[in-house]
Structure 1
Amino acid sequence: MTLIENHTLTELHVGMQTASTRCLTRSDVELFSLMGGEIETAQVAPGGEGRLMAQASGCAALISWLLCNRLPGAGSAIVRHDLCSTGSVAVGDEITTEARILEIDGETGIVLFDCGCRNQDGHELLAGHVWLRAPQGKVYSEPEALPEITLRRHDAFARLMDACATRDPVRCAVVHPCDHDSLLGALEAMRQRLIVPVLVGPQAKIAATAAAAGVDLDGIEIVDVEHSHAAAQKSVDLAREGKVESLMKGSLHTDELMAAVVPSATGLRTNRRISHVFVLDVPAYSRPLLVTDAAINIAPTLEDKIDIVQNAIHLAHVLGVPEPKVAILSATEVVNIKIPSTMDAALLCKMADRGQITGGVLDGPLAFDNAISPDAARTKHIVSPVAGQADILVAPDLEAGNMLAKNMSYFAGADSAGIVLGARVPIVLTSRADNVRSRLASAAVMALVAHARRSK
């Protein structure tokens, strides 16, 4: 990738200018409303749809971005401004932001810019001056587009952490924590009083990883085994013996850990099918969303799906949803004998009617839009207690579930946590791509499940 460089004080001259254009999204306008005034809802025309608007003063954020990323660029520091705004901006407006150098003070390093913003009709929305201290040295950075803005209207993961605050930490076997992320993730979960870690793996490797990360393992129990296979089996043995209440995957493959978990004689199997549930906090959705199964069962049968659904319902109960709404997903909302997932959905719903699946309200088949959008459900005349307000999405197979969960994370900005259920103890399957927030949320979900098991 080609790096861009900033403009230092000695490289600037009067008359230099820059500009950018952005089409405002709903999140942009909501953010501007917080910066410059209350959100207004106007009518485009009599009987038309409401148009979300905000005061144009929020466009100052676009000027700040332009100066600190384009001209002079990285290393700039805004000192003051006299920007004045007129009018409003709305979703869909194309805002052009411009800046031009008027004066340069070589002694103080202060540069005066004439700045302004106008919309697609040429109407001036914001105008005035900005004084900034120009960078003295060169800074090279990757080209950066205008940032996409996501406003989080709720924080389900903060509530998870709060729910664990009054509970004792759970003893957890951390399986082969021999890389930076898996070790530090476990130690941070310990610091947050979610777990009491038992590190299972080659002691020398664990110690070397801790030394490289600059962390101290004094007082932390380490069970020394020779390799990752042995770590997986030893962790399972500790759970079978009741010495730990949960497992957390470290730097080994999921298949390697689950190979030790699933055997009936030596593993952690119960009479229920083992399945995985993603817990997603989607900024645009009104409640936490559970997606299953996206990690364990590749092509689940109808019998498998009974347990997959029941596991997810029980998790929802633990998370404080007393009667979760369960959407059985397919490509359509009608039963079609040529699409097996629609047949499975219909049978699962009938089994729930007969008490064979309990604790939740099921409906399906439902297409994804019908499951989460009340407008989509109304448009298709779907009358259902689940449609448009699902708490749980049951995918037809692992591929669909995995793509759905990752789309939520990478396209919709969702935070995600994950947990394996149906075994004797809850299991956290961390991913190398998980950030600290996701790792802690997964540990919190695991701790809540472990505490719920104690009360049985």
Structure 2
Amino acid sequence: MSASHGPDVTLFFPGREFGPCTGGSLSKSHRLSWRRYATAHDMIRNFSHIDAIAREGTPVRLAALATDQEEFLRTIKIARDLGYITPILIGERETICRVAQEVQFDLSSVKIHEERDLQAVANKGIELLFDGEADIAMKGHIPTSFVYRSIIHHEKLIRGRKSISVNTLWDVPGADHLITITDTGVSIAPGYETKKRILAESVFLMRLLGYPAPRVMILSASGTWQDGAGKSGDRSMLKADADRGDFGPCEVLEAASLWELYPSQEFMDISGSDRSLPFLPHVFMVPHLDAGNILSKLDFILDVTRRSLVMTSRGPVIIPSRSDTHQAIVGEVALGVVVARRLRGMSP
């Protein structure tokens, strides 16, 4: 499947009542559900696999928002040289060109959109994504709130997603698959309906990455399943939704901790460099933003690697952390490239 451009751009969403195209003047051809993405993708087991796939195929168009600092322009240069992207830069032209000289980045063939106001920068980049002139967008030296505000505005214009969420993927040594933690960036204290959309988004993303029936653990401060997930009954209701097939093929695990799923000795015997963690769920859903933000940033003390993105109705948006190095951000770009290609049916 390939995306159309201009006013008739293909919309991507996770499925059924969670998708953006549930009414109005949009044609049925735009109402793509998870069933359209049920065909098997190669399973991506780690970030090295993602990097290898990103180097293959045609570069995707990346709209880079406010990349007027050395770390971000270095990221764009490396990603372009690796064949991941064709960059489109948005920001102050004079500053961008000056910093590009410092990192020896030839901009002679790079399109630059001149914008100075930070909200205008965010709006232009997300506009390019939603108009089909870019395949992915990436936040640079700009507060994340400006980017989220623009995404939400454009989703409303097309009657798209009712909410957005951040998926933070971990590459965990010993695991034979990637895991994602959600929501790690947007919803402060989501209610049941918002949690449904967050969970649908994560399951959809993991299916794109090659996991046909992701396993989900819904995290909570409570020690038993029956106590719910932040609000009474949320966890049980989300499991009932999953069992009914509302999220497509997936399994919500009826457990409050990994201890409940696996024999104690099996869970204990995971120390050392040869540990094996095949039992880890694919999706960890947190009850609120504080938990998600803290958990996702534990890569600073744990032996895991982190990459994050936001899925929109037009494709992924990369949201690097302020503390990320250019090497880490290049990895996040690779993730966005692979997701964008799989959404649009691009090769590979």
| Structure 1 length-normalised TM | 0.60
Which residue of 1 is the match for residue 292 of structure 2? 401
Give distance in 2, aligned partners of 1:202 and 1:250: 12
Which residue of 2 is the match for residue 287 of structure 1? 177
Of Structure 1 and Structure 2, which has the larger fraction of its residues in helix?
2
Matched, 1:315 2:315: no
Question: Which protein has the larger Cα radius of gyration, Structure 1 or Structure 2?
Answer: 1
Which residue of 2 is the match for residue 440 of structure 1? 330
The verdict on how the C-alpha distance between 1:338 and 1:172 changes in structure 2, with shifts beyond 3 A counting, is closer
Which residue of 2 is the match for residue 225 of structure 1? 115
Give distance in 2, aligned partners of 1:315 and 1:265: 18
Residue by residue, what CA displacement relative to the aligned partner does 1:215-271 show, whole Å, maximum 9, x if unpaired? 322211111112322111111221232111111001000001111111157767623
CA contact (8 A) 1:269 1:423 kept: no
The amino acid that maps onto 2:102 is A
Identical columns (%) = 25
Consecutive unaligned residues of structure 2, counting only runs of 5 or more, are 1-43, 268-277
Residue by residue, what CA displacement relative to the aligned partner does 1:435-456 show, whole Å, maximum 9, x if unpaired? 3442122112211221122139
The verdict on how the C-alpha distance between 1:333 and 1:324 changes in structure 2, with shifts beyond 3 A counting, is farther
The amino acid that maps onto 1:300 is P
Which residue of 1 is the match for residue 34 of structure 2? none
Which residue of 2 is the match for residue 255 of structure 1? 145
The amino acid that maps onto 2:151 is V
Residue by residue, what CA displacement relative to the aligned partner does 1:45-82 show, whole Å, maximum 9, x if unpaired? xxxxxxxxxxxxxxxxxxxxxxxxxxxxxxxxxxxxxx
Which residue of 2 is the match for residue 389 of structure 1? 280
CA contact (8 A) 1:261 1:269 kept: no
Look up the SS of the partner of 1:399 in the other structure: helix
Give distance in 2, aligned partners of 1:406 and 1:268: 33
Give distance in 2, aligned partners of 1:204 and 1:401: 38
Residue by residue, what CA displacement relative to the aligned partner does 1:321-342 show, whole Å, maximum 9, x if unpaired? 1211111111245244586346
Residue by residue, what CA displacement relative to the aligned partner does 1:188-235 show, whole Å, maximum 9, x if unpaired? 111111111100111011112212333322211111112322111111
Which residue of 2 is the match for residue 300 of structure 1? 190
Of Structure 1 and Structure 2, which has the larger fraction of its residues in strand?
1
Give distance in 2, aligned partners of 1:156 and 1:339: 29
The verdict on how the C-alpha distance between 1:376 and 1:170 changes in structure 2, with shifts beyond 3 A counting, is farther
Matched, 1:246 2:140: no
CA contact (8 A) 1:261 1:267 kept: no
The verdict on how the C-alpha distance between 1:394 and 1:265 changes in structure 2, with shifts beyond 3 A counting, is closer
The verdict on how the C-alpha distance between 1:376 and 1:286 changes in structure 2, with shifts beyond 3 A counting, is farther
1:275 to 165, 168, 183: 165
The amino acid that maps onto 1:435 is T
The amino acid that maps onto 2:198 is I
The verdict on how the C-alpha distance between 1:213 and 1:268 changes in structure 2, with shifts beyond 3 A counting, is farther
Matched, 1:168 2:58: yes
Consecutive unaligned residues of structure 1, counting only runs of 5 or more, are 1-153, 380-386
Give distance in 1, aligned partners of 2:83 and 2:186: 28
Which runs of structure 2 are paired with 1:52-67 in the superposition (5 Å)? none
Matched, 1:334 2:185: no
CA contact (8 A) 2:163 2:197 kept: yes
Which residue of 1 is the match for residue 19 of structure 2? none
CA contact (8 A) 2:93 2:112 kept: yes
The verdict on how the C-alpha distance between 1:365 and 1:302 changes in structure 2, with shifts beyond 3 A counting, is farther
The verdict on how the C-alpha distance between 1:338 and 1:158 changes in structure 2, with shifts beyond 3 A counting, is closer
Look up the SS of the partner of 2:153 in the other structure: coil
Aligned pairs, number: 295
The root-mean-square deviation of aligned C-alpha atoms, in Å, is: 2.8
Look up the SS of the partner of 1:322 in the other structure: coil
Residue by residue, what CA displacement relative to the aligned partner does 1:290-340 show, whole Å, maximum 9, x if unpaired? 111111111111111111111111111121212111111112452445863
The amino acid that maps onto 1:290 is T
The verdict on how the C-alpha distance between 1:341 and 1:365 changes in structure 2, with shifts beyond 3 A counting, is farther
Which residue of 2 is the match for residue 33 of structure 1? none
Relative contact order (alpha carbons < 8 A, sep ≥ 6): 1 or 2 greater? 2
Give distance in 2, aligned partners of 1:281 and 1:342: 32
Which of 286-295 and 434-443 deviates more?
434-443
Measure how far apart 1:272 and its partner are: 5.0
Give distance in 2, aligned partners of 1:303 and 1:181: 38
